[in-house]
Structure 1
């Protein structure tokens, strides 16, 4: 295996997975939201120390074959509503479009656009007064505080109208002027015939673009200075990767969680699981997905916060509850998130100025976390600061003791994630819950109990599982156009193949090193779609004549995927040796001493029953009373509810 570095950037921690030969190693660094390139290079530096015994980032970047990067920054930005203020220019013939857009998610629409909307008549855009009206529309929105604009016309001639608007805007507001406001057109991203999807796709892309662009190009430029062999690859939410200049912002949304889904597919196949749900718990969100019938759910028109967009996305729910999510008391009850303290200032126990209560603070005070060994011993935790935060924000407002507040926080946290599991997935008696992410294993059994799940699997690489999961992705470019006239199919397909060849060359893939797949997708307007794989010569099936729209989809793929994982199994063989004891707060028992098991001390077949604590350098798992764990021959963990 070539030397590969996979980096998954989260809101609180950035995970690094190092793959060299048959060895997989991991490390983590704190995310630096004020400059993501800082934690990116800190991760590379720390990875070089893990690999060589001492930090040598120059050597690492000379020897590394592939660097893949995924991020939850887009997911967190949408979840926390942090981004630019957008202005929206729409076709006057579609005055009901804002209300239709808001119907997808009124809160997100208000956060992104609000009342910063201007309508322009198509005749005006094509008429003699076009320049005056376009300038007036742009000035109105910028005066209202918009710092990025989205233009999305409706009707069959939306492409021509947006091109006309573009010419005027470039002439009146050339891009070289200081302070020029960026304008994104719906047709820049897709020619999806559905105006609502097309407009939402442009809005979300425009909202995410600034933060993604600034960091990714800066990181790539710094990598070039080290003369790395290949460009940085961005892992996308469609499960493949491409270089920075060939990636759009919306395709970074949920790319980190999608890495976890790729890992879940491989893990489930390795152990023969046929029905699995996942909780990927980071600092800001818990990302939930499901594996069934040999794959994870992906829809051709994906969803962002429930909003339908024009591109395929894996079905993942991002719930606003993570290790750094803020707990507060509202009207006598505990409310969690979606606000997060992230890595800066972080939970109060980090000692970086945070004063809000988080589940990380509660877990420390409850005895689950060791303040001296947390984060591989690289970060000491402050018990007094954690106690002050929980007392001020939870115990005092509720009028309860500190220990009671901790138990209530734990219960509320587990209840919220269990409720989201039931809302988004289908749980059956055969369902296994896969728990990963830095905070995923911590309360996994409690979540499973409340969700009615009796088995929980924790990968050995749980702490960096999303980074691990992106390690087998391919390089690809995807295209999609509407076919208006069946006679134009051959010409349109030939044009897309030329574009694919140009883009794959830019990816560093010469002709003959990648494959091309093309298909037609017919939408019959009644919720029914049909697909048809194209061969030579390409033809439109006669049955597609009744379709509302027919789209040509083409994908160019450079395969990087390795052979499938070997099968593994869980079989108890010998009692696990305890590393020591820890005094832990347990419901109905109070504070008692329980055994602590270190994953590094355990081998195939080791087992033990709760109450206990199971941990490694970057994750901790509570094993409650009534649960037992066993280690597989691959080093993974299965926890089961005892009968």
Structure 2
């Protein structure tokens, strides 16, 4: 006791996960049901469980916390459920329909590939800001930042007065070319605060998203204002309750870029929290992979409602410059996450004589039928119970008794009888379909990018991921699957392990001459050096504000590059040091290599000319955190046998059931096998074997 503790928390769709690591590297994990109406209640319930495991009160445990990292779904939930603030948009006269038109991309954004041809199902998303709350004001700044038409302040006052009268709670200001000259946006913000009050939430595109792309910049700014007030209220409430409960350590929030930020910064840039939870899993995997020596990793997080996957290549998470969220576009670098509706709570149903699983989910409440919370529709978890993968008596360490008979009845009446199948065939069909969907998603993510899954290690985590990884991992063909010691709360571990992150960017269009086979000759290295110097100084100042010492700062640079006349870019890393002609040539070479890696050999077309569009600087502030320690030796391996239906073998088999905490490093168990943990279950299929390493991670091999 009385040592520094490091805490990570992630609120998922079904469970809230918590990880606590002490200075020696000892880890405790636990989870509690997510409480959608008051997310902090689920957080404190999970923390109390950990405190109980440690044999101390919650106040005593929190008093030892040096760092508390929080991944939260507050922003995502507010967007999906359309519970954001009543938002108004102020934009340049003549461009009020930019957000609604969405560059004609809204009706396909986020649509699964298999549904793109179903035109009758395409819909534009419900507007976050209706046309009546979009106000146009007279002003114009050109692409060089010169004022062409002065701002009509009387028109601004009239527009703001109308929005105030309409009950607007948050304001988004997105003017043309404002990132070249923010003066007009800043003046409008001052008028908004004058008329609506100093505490009103205001987002400026020149601060939130100072990049090229009129629609994407406007969309990102509007999303920030729409989400900001609820995120701000939640984080203030969460931090206040932690302080009142006795915590004095640093409280930070996991963002979607690749690190944590202060609650103040998170509230100001709420849009960066839209994939906070899934990003935590990728960052936790990156940290663990560095310790285990795995440069290439496919991450897979199967929870109660979704299956989220990411890529780590050469030790770095793959990042996307533009991300689609709920059919809107966010123009900010985010760790690339692909998600499908496949989780333990995914609902199975018969549609037109076919068995379908997901994307609809029973969620945390009412949840699967076997939870006995009022759920009436068969789910993946119900199938796992029927097939013997989950023991109803040991689920969540015995804290939650499952109703196997109810699960059997639901699958029998809803799936088996309509399809003319036996109960077991119906349950096996549910499991097979969801595993195949997940394998297809992983294949699209890897093979679709020209990557060979055999060159990667698959990390499987989340409440349901370890139960299904043998199926979708085996289908994918990876040689090794790692179920981390923190798998049952791996996204929470990512929040614990993440460093402080700040990013700064600026759009500045640099074009080379078409037909020039040496395009780097057209690029002014000195101009690029000046841009990076300014961005670097700003990023260092942000890190310093968060208490990061210069020796703990890592500054990384990148640039968005495309061929001329294209609309999409690739993010290309830029080497450290002064920008020279040779360094510029390296940028062009790396872009063309990345382009052909992404789109196929021979796809590059240097003769079209090259465009550099947005320059970025990422600042990482390293924070102290313990490394995993070797697990203590165990006296004897506790195991027994039970009958489990193996979907691949299409038969009931005798599976070895082992307690996770009793596993002995170096010993391999041949599948079928079940490894039980108080917060998860791991299944290993026929023809596979499972063992544990010295850090407590499970390793599944063929």
For Structure 1 versus Structure 2, the TM-score category normalised by the shorter chain is 0.7 to 0.9
User: In the alignment, is the contact (CA less than 8 A) between 1:150 and 1:185 conserved in 2?
Assistant: yes
**Which runs of 5 or more structure 1 residues have no equivalent in the other structure?**
569-575
Structure-2 residue corresponding to 1:639: 700
Once the two structures are TM-superposed, the CA of residue 150 in structure 1 deviates from its matched residue by 3.9
1:316-395 → structure 2 map (5 Å cutoff): 316-395=337-416
User: In the alignment, is the contact (CA less than 8 A) between 1:603 and 1:635 conserved in 2?
Assistant: no
Q: CA RMSD in A?
A: 4.0
Q: Does 1:470 align with 2:492?
A: no
Q: Does 1:438 align with 2:463?
A: yes
User: In the alignment, is the contact (CA less than 8 A) between 1:303 and 1:313 conserved in 2?
Assistant: no
**Normalising by the residue count of structure 1, what TM-score does the alignment of the two structures yield?**
0.83
In the aligned structure 2, how far is the partner of 1:578 from the partner of 1:227? 39
Structure-1 residue corresponding to 2:9: 7
Q: Does 1:449 align with 2:474?
A: yes
Change beyond 3 A, Cα 1:244–1:136: closer
Once the two structures are TM-superposed, the CA of residue 278 in structure 1 deviates from its matched residue by 2.0
In the aligned structure 2, how far is the partner of 1:82 from the partner of 1:329? 32
Change beyond 3 A, Cα 1:533–1:162: same
Once the two structures are TM-superposed, the CA of residue 133 in structure 1 deviates from its matched residue by 5.9
**Which runs of 5 or more structure 2 residues have no equivalent in the other structure?**
111-122, 141-149, 510-523, 588-608
User: In the alignment, is the contact (CA less than 8 A) between 1:91 and 1:154 conserved in 2?
Assistant: yes
- In structure 1, the residue corresponding to 2:405 is in which secondary structure? helix
- In structure 2, the residue corresponding to 1:38 is in which secondary structure? helix
Structure-2 residue corresponding to 1:62: 63
**Normalising by the residue count of structure 2, what TM-score does the alignment of the two structures yield?**
0.77
Structure-1 residue corresponding to 2:228: 209
Farther-moved stretch of structure 1 (127-136 vs 401-410)? 127-136
1:5-404 → structure 2 map (5 Å cutoff): 5-20=7-22, 21-51=24-54, 53-54=55-56, 56-75=57-76, 90-94=91-95, 95=97, 98-103=100-105, 106=108, 110-113=124-127, 116-117=130-131, 118=134, 120=136, 122=138, 126-127=151-152, 130-131=155-156, 134=159, 138=163, 150-155=172-177, 159-163=182-186, 165-174=188-197, 184-247=203-266, 248-302=269-323, 304=325, 309-404=330-425
Once the two structures are TM-superposed, the CA of residue 390 in structure 1 deviates from its matched residue by 2.9
Change beyond 3 A, Cα 1:317–1:223: same
User: In the alignment, is the contact (CA less than 8 A) between 1:151 and 1:162 conserved in 2?
Assistant: yes
Q: Does 1:515 align with 2:567?
A: no
Once the two structures are TM-superposed, the CA of residue 374 in structure 1 deviates from its matched residue by 0.5
Once the two structures are TM-superposed, the CA of residue 380 in structure 1 deviates from its matched residue by 1.0
User: In the alignment, is the contact (CA less than 8 A) between 1:10 and 1:73 conserved in 2?
Assistant: no
- Give the one of 614, 621, 626 matched to 1:558: 621
Change beyond 3 A, Cα 1:435–1:554: closer
Once the two structures are TM-superposed, the CA of residue 234 in structure 1 deviates from its matched residue by 0.9
Once the two structures are TM-superposed, the CA of residue 85 in structure 1 deviates from its matched residue by 7.0
Change beyond 3 A, Cα 1:328–1:160: farther
Q: Does 1:580 align with 2:640?
A: yes
Change beyond 3 A, Cα 1:407–1:557: closer
In the aligned structure 1, how far is the partner of 2:314 from the partner of 2:535? 36
Per-residue Cα deviation, 1:221-246 (whole angstroms, up to 9, x for no partner): 11222452223111222222122112
User: In the alignment, is the contact (CA less than 8 A) between 1:149 and 1:183 conserved in 2?
Assistant: yes
Structure-2 residue corresponding to 1:573: none
User: In the alignment, is the contact (CA less than 8 A) between 1:101 and 1:200 conserved in 2?
Assistant: no
Per-residue Cα deviation, 1:317-341 (whole angstroms, up to 9, x for no partner): 1222111223333222233333333
Structure-1 residue corresponding to 2:660: 599
User: In the alignment, is the contact (CA less than 8 A) between 1:302 and 1:314 conserved in 2?
Assistant: no
Once the two structures are TM-superposed, the CA of residue 281 in structure 1 deviates from its matched residue by 0.9
In the aligned structure 2, how far is the partner of 1:551 from the partner of 1:38? 41
- In structure 1, the residue corresponding to 2:217 is in which secondary structure? helix
Once the two structures are TM-superposed, the CA of residue 407 in structure 1 deviates from its matched residue by 1.4
1:529-548 → structure 2 map (5 Å cutoff): none
Give the count of matched residue pairs.
622
- In structure 1, the residue corresponding to 2:691 is in which secondary structure? strand
User: In the alignment, is the contact (CA less than 8 A) between 1:438 and 1:619 conserved in 2?
Assistant: yes
